[in-house]
Structure 1
Amino acid sequence: MDSPVPPHPSEPRPRRRDRHGRGMRGPVAPPQVPLSVSRAENFRDLVQDSVERLERRWPQLTDVDFMVLDVPSTQEETVPLGRAISAEKGRPAQIVIYRRPVEIRTKNRDERALLVHEVVVEQVAELLGLAPESVDPRYGQE
């Protein structure tokens, strides 16, 4: 006896569960978990933390634009880690921190945070015409 063959559906059924019956998978990590933060975002956070530390002592830094660029655009003999640009008519002062040169010189997040802070302090000192030690008394001690 031949058993009847069920007709083939014209459209596949939507999957509600995976083949092991556990349901559909969600994202690997929720957005608040550090795994979902890119290296560039993580680096920007380090710069922002450093700037916030300095703004408490130097309120005039709120008028300075802090930027993060991947690499410097100029071809120099030595690769700069940051750059201070004085204010001009119609443009506020800017401090640029270069992400890739800083990342290459550090091994982990703690070293990177220290180097980022040192670079920010040095650039703020250059912009204000002060010594880095007067901008942050702990400069060079960490």
Structure 2
Amino acid sequence: MDSPVPPPTFEPRPRRRDRHGRGMRGPLAPPQVPLSASRGEIFRDLVQDSVERLERRWPQLAEVDFVVLDVPAVAEDTVPLGGSVSAGKGRPAQIVVYRRPVELRTKSRDERALLVHEVVVEQVAELLGLSPESVDPRYGQD
């Protein structure tokens, strides 16, 4: 008598190739390559580069917090590119640069770097009570 044959146990093998016969694809870019940085991180780097340029001439900027926010919190008639808040009790002065309004007004990375620097210079000038030209002699020349 025939004994019932159990169905064969089938364990799926891990897929090494996709359905088109190609191998597994690796990451688009390794982590150390700038391609893997987000737009926000790249923008923060632009702001940091601008701040470092100014700190050489104005060492008191080391005590100022520079913040990058995506958009302004309050809706106004005109959209600001940045803002500054004077120091208060127990909190340092703060300069804010708004990422999305700056990105929307520029087409390339070079334009964006120039505009970020202009915004940072203007906000530092406002905070220090000086003209932008005295904060950075090259202001408006680029």
For 1:1-142, what aligned pairs fall within 5 Å after superposition? 8-18=8-18, 23-142=23-142
Equivalent pairs, count: 136
Cα deviation for residue 8 of structure 1 reads: 4.8
Q: TM-score with structure 2 length normalisation?
A: 0.88
1:117 maps to amino acid: H
1:78-104 residue CA offsets vs partner (Å, 9 max, x unmatched): 111000100000110000000011011
2:73 maps to amino acid: S
Please identify runs of 4+ aligned residues in structure 1 that moved more than 4 A.
Answer: 17-23
* SS of alignment partner, residue 116 of structure 1: helix
Cα deviation for residue 12 of structure 1 reads: 0.8
Cα deviation for residue 66 of structure 1 reads: 0.3
1:12-62 residue CA offsets vs partner (Å, 9 max, x unmatched): 112345567764321011112222111111111100110111111111111
Q: Matches of 2:118 and 2:8 in 1, distance apart?
A: 68
Aligned CA RMSD, in angstroms, stands at 1.7
1:124 maps to amino acid: V
Identity of aligned residues (%): 83
2:90 maps to amino acid: G
